[in-house]
Amino acid sequence: MMTNDQILAAGLPGIEETHFQKHPKRFLNKKLISKVLFFIPLLIGVGVLYFLVEEVPWLWQLALGLWFLLFLTVIFLSYKEYFVRGYVLREQDITYRKGWLFHSQITVPFNRIQHTEINHGPVDRLFKLCELDIFTAGGSASDLSISGLDPADAAKLKEYISGKLSTYA
C-alpha cells in the first residue's frame, strides 16, 4: 500500500546544523592581498589628481577620503566573507556557502554530478591553493566551484565524489 504522508518543513533538519568545513587561512591572505593590489593603482590616481588640481585642494582630499572609505569597506567585506565560506560533504550531496552581505548556498546531489576538475592558476599555486569544479549534466560551465581549497583536501574531495559517481552509474 502506497502512502503519501505530509512532511512539515519545521521538522526537517537544517543544513546550518551541520559542520561546514572552512577554507585555509591562506585563502584569506590571498583575497586580502589581491584587494590591496587592486587599490594601489587607484591610490596612484589620487596622487596624480593632487598634482593636477593644486588650485582646488578639496578635490583631491575628497578623492583620497573616498578611496580610503572604499578600501576599508572592501577589506572589511572580504574579511567577514571569509568566515562564512565553507562546504559540507554529506552522504548524498555536497553543499557550499559563501557571501556575508549577499549570501549564497548551493547544494549539488551526487546523482546529478557528471564529473569534477581541480584547477589552480599561478596565484593559487603561489598560495598553495586550488579550486574544485563540479559539473552536472546539461551545461558547459561548472555548477559548483569551490575555490581556495588546500590541494590535498581538493584531491580527497574529488576522489570521494568520483567514488560516489560510480555507485550512481
Q: For residue 116, tell me if it sits in a domain.
A: yes
Alpha helices (H) along 53-150: 57-84, 122-126
The total number of structural domains in the chain stands at 2
Q: For residue 20, tell me if it sits in a domain.
A: no
Is there a single domain that holds both residue 39 and residue 107? no
In this prediction, residue 83 carries a pLDDT of 94
Q: For residue 61, tell me if it sits in a domain.
A: yes
Which pLDDT band, with edges at 50, 70 and 90, does 168 fall under? low
In this prediction, residue 70 carries a pLDDT of 96
Instruction: Give the residue numbers spanning the domain of 67.
Output: 25-82
Q: For residue 13, tell me if it sits in a domain.
A: no
Q: Which three cell numbers stand for residue 110?
A: 551526487
Residue 107's alpha-carbon distances to 42, 84, 113, 145, 146, in angstroms, are 38, 16, 11, 11, 12
Contacting residues for 23 by C-beta, under 8 A, at least 6 apart: 82, 85, 86, 148, 149
Over the stretch 79-134, which tens digit does the pLDDT of each residue have?
A: 999 999 999 998 889 999 999 999 999 999 998 899 899 999 999 999 999 999 99
Domain boundary among 82, 109, 129: 82
